[in-house]
Amino acid sequence: MKTLILLSSLLFSAHAFSTETVKTKEIEISEEKATDTFSYYFGTVRVNQRSFVNYRITNTGSTPLTYQWGRMQGDPSFRATTNCFGTLYPGQRCSFTIEYAPYFQGYSNGLFEMQFDQGYGVRVYVSGNALRR
């Protein structure tokens, strides 16, 4: 019985603190909207491990939107990548991924911003808590 309890707790621990977790969120954009603001909490991530959130953007309007720029600010534990370059035509998708890979224990926060023409933008406030092993 002790072995079963020990194995169960090890399996739970491995799942709770896995090295890579990916969640996907959907965003719809169009020329009628201004900047949309979101927030995402990564939860507790072990130091030197990684967690990801992926955002898929779909142009639901009738006007092509051109990517202008994107940037990640704040704690260096957060990084962002995107494939949203050039023009996003109606019905097309692109995406960006934010990675949380803490090097030090404690709370971290950051901000990812992306701007398209027509005055449309996306802003995502991110945070997470790093725990040393």
Could you tell me whether strands 65-74 and 87-88 are parallel, antiparallel, or unpaired per DSSP bridges? antiparallel
Identify the CATH number of the domain in which residue 91 sits: 2.60.40.2310
Q: Mean pLDDT in the chain? A: 84
**CA nearest neighbour of 72 among 112, 109, 36, 121:** 112
Is position 6 within any domain?
no
**CA nearest neighbour of 84 among 112, 50, 115:** 115
Average pLDDT rounded to a whole number, residues 86-93:
95
Under 8 Å between Cβ of 126 and 100: yes
- Residue 88 CA to residue 84 CA, distance in Å, equals 8
Is position 74 within any domain?
yes
pLDDT band at residue 90 under the 50/70/90 scheme: very high
Q: What is the pTM of this model?
A: 0.79
pLDDT band at residue 26 under the 50/70/90 scheme: confident
Is position 14 within any domain?
no
Is position 87 within any domain?
yes
